[in-house]
A = this chain, B = another copy of it.
Amino acid sequence: MTDTARPHLEIREVGLRDGLQLEDPVPLAAKLALLDAIAVTGVREIEATSFVSPTAVPAFADAEELAAHLHRWPDITFSALVASPNGARRAVTSNVVNLEYVVSATDAHSAANVRRTTEEALTAVSVIADLAHGAGGTAEVIIAVAWDCPFSGRVDADHTAEIARRAVEAGADRISFGDTIGTVVPGRMTQLLDVVGAVAPGVELGVHLHNTRGIGLASAWAAYQAGVTRFDASFGGLGGCPFAPGATGNIATEELAYMFDESGVDTGVGIDAVLDAVAVLRDVVGHDLSSNLFRAHVAGAERVAARGRAQR
């Protein structure tokens, strides 16, 4: 239940997309079990899959199959990531009408990711927005490498803000800023959002953060202080990079919900239910997760169990 007197924000659960993207492909039945576990956490938005080439990303070869099951959770707003107008057509045909479309802020990352320049990627925004709107949905542009690019280094805030402005002009309903390699810090978050506020005022803004260097939650807090109301997160902090075994993935849903709820900002998300979902997730992926809150929870449970054994 949302208490309308309290400030509030939206957490979008992206574990099934950004989290599973780099895992060995998970069977459809396991994805549905994860959705069952997430659906009861109180989260209102889930990025369920990605309509991209199954050759490029085998984890999402079942996108259409998964989409056919999403009607099971009528209270949840589902969305999908797309990389092209073709992907957008596949999504809306599958009744997934809320679309996220990535535009990289640098040509180098754009070329590596989708073999297009930033300019070429921007030209598709209006087509994708029309497809989403025509189906009764929304189109969000996620600006990847919004702060730093693994190939080109620092990205100028003016440049990222200008991409945001142009994406909105082309029909995007809102903009998210992706900290793709997990380098952003609160000061740079605030700096970019200040510039965006001047260049593209009044736009609904989100952030998509990774916790690679442990600063993701701090940057999320700074984003909230600067007016951002939409946050991507992944339960358990699932994700990472196959070439960086120790690196963590997205900021963890349970840590984000804990931080905001305890700070008096309503997320609608119940921490205990997310921790239960993370336990399911851990069994599905078969490895530990990077969430500190989940680890503390498990350690606490083990402590209680140890006390129980000691009393016997």
Q: Please report A residues at the B interface, Cβ cutoff 8 Å.
A: 182-183, 185-188, 211-215, 217-218, 220-222, 225, 241, 243-248, 252, 255, 258-260, 262-265, 290-293, 295-296, 298-300, 302-303
Contact A186 B247, CB 8 Å, known A213-B292, A258-B215: no
Whether A248 pairs with B292 at a CB distance below 8 angstroms is yes
B296 and A247 within 8 A (CB):
yes
Chain B residues with CB under 8 Å of A220's CB are 218
Residues on B with beta carbons closer than 8 Å to the beta carbon of A214: 211, 217, 252, 255, 291-293
CA distance A252 to B300 in the complex (A): 22
> Which of B222, B241, B245 touches A221 (beta carbons < 8 Å)?
B222
Task: Tell me whether B245 and A299 are in contact (CB under 8 A).
Answer: yes
Enumerate 22 A-B pairs (CB-CB under 8 Å) in ascending A order. Answer: A185-B258, A185-B260, A185-B263, A186-B221, A187-B263, A211-B214, A212-B292, A212-B293, A213-B293, A213-B296, A214-B291, A215-B258, A221-B222, A241-B299, A244-B296, A244-B299, A244-B300, A245-B302, A246-B296, A247-B295, A248-B292, A248-B296
Name the B residues within 8 Å of A299 (CB-CB).
Answer: 241, 244-247
Residue of B nearest to A288 (CB): B246
Whether B290 pairs with A292 at a CB distance below 8 angstroms is yes
Contact A185 B292 (CB under 8 A): no
Query: Contact between B263 and A213 (Cβ–Cβ < 8 Å)?
Result: no
In the complex, how many angstroms separate the beta carbon of A287 from the nearest chain B beta carbon? 14
A291–B222 Cα gap in the complex (Å)? 21
Q: Are A255 and B213 in contact (CB under 8 A)?
A: yes
CB distance from A99 to the nearest CB of B (A): 30
For A262, give its contact among B185, B247, B260 (CB under 8 Å): B185
CB pair A295 B246 closer than 8 Å: yes
Question: Cα distance A220–B218 when bound, in Å?
Answer: 8
CA distance A263 to B222 in the complex (A): 11
**Chain B residue at minimum C-beta to C-beta distance from A290:** B292
Measured between C-beta atoms, what is the minimum distance from A293 to chain B in Å? Answer: 4
Q: Which 3 pairs from chain A and chain B are nearest by CB?
A: A187-B263, A246-B295, A214-B292
> Is B263 touching A186 in the complex (CB atoms < 8 A)?
yes
Alpha-carbon distance A117/B255, docked complex (angstroms): 34
If A248-B292, A290-B292, A292-B248 touch, whether A215 touches B264 (CB-CB below 8 Å) is no
